[in-house]
Chains A and B, each alone.
Chain A
């Protein structure tokens, strides 16, 4: 099966609408960033606390927000996770407070948040243990005496084991940490009707559990942010150097501009969709940088090869032909990689959501930028170089064979490069 058989689309002739589209997208992203006062960083970079709470039945976000605002110092943000009953609660530090104070505030946050949520969204348990937030030790301690009284002769080890079996039963999918009804526990290993009755006397099934908790001090947050920016810039620089070494410096510049364009658009889209940028998103940005670079290099590689073959036509025609020759590969690879990224986005779960979103966006933008951004830059540069030459003997050192109307921005074949 073949989709593209020796195509000859005039990509570069129609580049302007696409360049305008790029500019429009970039502008939209930048405006959104400007209006919102910079990217929305995750707590990795700002300092703060993030709690993932899974509800049996999720209360409205404003109710959660209102309950927490009263009790938690600092900013409170509540986001519903689509497609589940989960809620992400992040609390941030306020800039107007001294650093030591914010530290204390954050240290106390976890207990504070749990207590508040408990008071607001769980019915009064009457002193019973909430099985959905209990740890294994808590459960074992709670059941030890009542089980003995009920006549179940279990050693300490056996009770620990039982409690472990119950908590891991609770934590495995599809329950995902939530027991809806205490009767469901009958399916857990070791839970006899007698044990179940004791559990029902001693425990209740609360409305939520805490799936994860993350806390980053403001100092570490600032460190991580600086580190992330440095890493991205150094990585871009290193790739520029490598491409400049393998091709020509203008190829490196073109590739880096294209990749930069992808990054700006992706960050802009994160801002438009109000998604936070955290450490995993940085990893995704670097991935798409690598991916877009990959795409650009494949095209450039073809251009270089065609130039060596002394192909007929102007430089811009050669570039266009190279794009067409690699089009089948570009579309197929992008399509297949897009499939993997999409499956990650759809099925990869909440934790990978930001990561895969960046990839899904990045693959589309990255593919298109190698055709409509990186390649035109080469041609622009070629035009400028030729224009300069026509106007005067600016660079007599560059000897070019004009006889076959072939522009050669690439040095003659280097020893060892093929």
Chain B
């Protein structure tokens, strides 16, 4: 009996020590204790302040763009092989749901050239399914397996780009995750300690697709004028691009080569720099070695011609090439240093493959976070103290027993959160407070049972044993019922509800240990002393 008790005592001691180590580590000074505590207890965004964003990746942009590039290529191939057609265009996907339905439509291919046309498509666009609409018209759609791959690629690509932007912003603890595993298109962005979410949202959302094109003509006032000036048909390998609005006025339309000279990924570095005019800021960029070689050859052979700088498919400016440029360029026109720096950051991070729409934002300012920690802490302490005082009054010395179990329960709970790297959120604090309620309930159930047994005339030791064993069944039933509902919350609930469920389950599991096992050991230890106990203080 005694040896059993000693073994149980050491087991409890070991648990206590492991828990204390998990919470504060092995501090040698008071400062280190605080650092360890901060390192081990991860606070959620709602407590430390920060932003939680849900972005929807507009997949249809990427699918339409992909179809667009291939339409241009198909047109060139058809012209090369002298296959005539009346029109070829992208039947664009209008919404996210229809993204995979983006199609290429080719009309007016003579029946006599059908064989050549099919040959070109199957040789060059093998990922696309060709469906004849009638004798002369065709529709190309992406194979489902390839469409799924594109979908996933767009998500991964977006996630990686956002990661680079976040790193460039110096937000080391921020994370980007896919929201659910299955076929949705949402990313979760968590930004702890951010005090300027509006600017960061803007940066994350900027597509930042930079391209430099050879200008073939323009600017024209309208699309019609551009066509008329070029004999009604666009020359092979060219396209029309509009200009970015400046002060609400469009700068016209340019005719540019269909493939860019320099593309976003060719940029090696970018930074904000003082503009030529005082008080103005520019964004300078440097090209990678490979691109620099290409660019240098190109600029050398095109002196006196114009070069269009496109950002997000809009011409920003179309300066004349004055001499050979090797590896650097400048984008002018930023209003502030911040704007120029943000553009530089976006250029370095690379462009997003598709647009982003914010579906949800939760921003907690640092002052609210600090207040919530204080309030939550204060409410917790007040609640626990009230309970402890009530227990001590009601159960006298056995109340100490219950208090020890309660404190140990809280310690185990916090240690588990630390060991599991779980995040403590406001609903989590609520879960802890509820755990305290359940822990109290277990103690009350046991003590009331012991009292009943004593009242029924049993001796102290059998009464304590009977009290514990009879209450045990009830405790198991109540705990499992709550754990069942927590499991459902965890599986099907979202963010805050999950945090609540996790802390509650850990707390309940700890409670079975403390209220049933630890409390019993303390009773046994009290009752096994050399002097027989005449009356139990309960």
Contacts and interface: CB of A to CB of B under 8 A. Distances in A.
Contacts of A284: 430
Interface stretch (A7-15, A68-76, A169-177, A398-406): A169-177
A290 B485 contact: yes
A111 B478 contact: no
B445 interface: yes
B492 interface: yes
Interface stretch (A90-98, A191-199, A238-246): A238-246
Contacts of B374: 173, 349
Contacts of A356: 430
B381 to A, nearest CB: 9
Given A2-B451, A340-B387, A213 B430 contact: no
Given A298-B474, A329-B444, A347-B382, A336 B430 contact: no
A89 to B, nearest CB: 14
A123 B525 CA distance: 70
Interface string B421-439: 0000011011001101110
Contact of A351 (B46, B49, B438): B46
B456 to A, nearest CB: 10
A54 B478 contact: no
Interface stretch (B34-42, B273-281, B365-373): B365-373
Contacts of B197: 213
A220 interface: yes
Contact of A283 (B366, B384, B391, B427): B427
A333 B365 contact: no
Contacts of B383: 339-341, 343-344
Interface stretch (B9-17, B134-142, B356-364): B356-364
Contacts of A368: none
Interface in A41-67: 52, 54
B437 A337 contact: yes
Name B's interface SS.
Answer: helix
A162 B357 CA distance: 36
Nearest to A170: B367
The main secondary structure of chain A at its interface with chain B is helix
Interface string B50-61: 000010000000
A52 B500 CA distance: 23
A303 to B, nearest CB: 12
Interface in B380-439: 380, 382-384, 386-387, 390-391, 393-396, 426-427, 429-430, 433-434, 436-438
A168 B369 CA distance: 11
B485 A239 contact: yes
B385 to A, nearest CB: 9
Contacts of B366: 167-168, 171, 177
B484 A344 contact: no
A6 B454 CA distance: 13
Contacts of A136: 195
B472 to A, nearest CB: 10
B491 to A, nearest CB: 8
**Chain B contact patch, size range:** 35 or more
B424 to A, nearest CB: 14
B371 A343 contact: no
Nearest to A175: B367
A242 B480 contact: yes
B198 A110 contact: yes
Interface in A285-309: 286-287, 289-291, 293-294, 297-298, 301-302, 305
A17 B44 CA distance: 47
B371 A301 contact: no
B494 interface: yes
B76 interface: no
A286 B198 CA distance: 34
Nearest to A106: B358
A279 interface: yes
A85 interface: no
B368 A211 contact: yes
A306 to B, nearest CB: 12
B489 interface: yes
Nearest to A290: B482
Interface stretch (A228-236, A371-379, A389-397): A228-236
B481 A294 contact: yes
Nearest to A51: B363
Interface in B501-536: 504
Interface string A136-160: 1110010000000000000000000
A177 B430 contact: no
B245 interface: no
B146 interface: no
Contacts of B438: 294
Contacts of B427: 280, 283, 355
B379 interface: yes
22 contacts: A168-B366, A170-B367, A175-B367, A176-B368, A210-B365, A216-B360, A220-B359, A224-B494, A238-B485, A242-B481, A287-B430, A290-B485, A294-B478, A329-B448, A336-B441, A336-B444, A339-B386, A339-B387, A343-B380, A351-B368, A351-B426, A352-B379
Given A217-B359, A283-B493, A341-B437, 7 more contacts: A230-B492, A231-B489, A287-B504, A336-B440, A336-B444, A339-B386, A418-B473
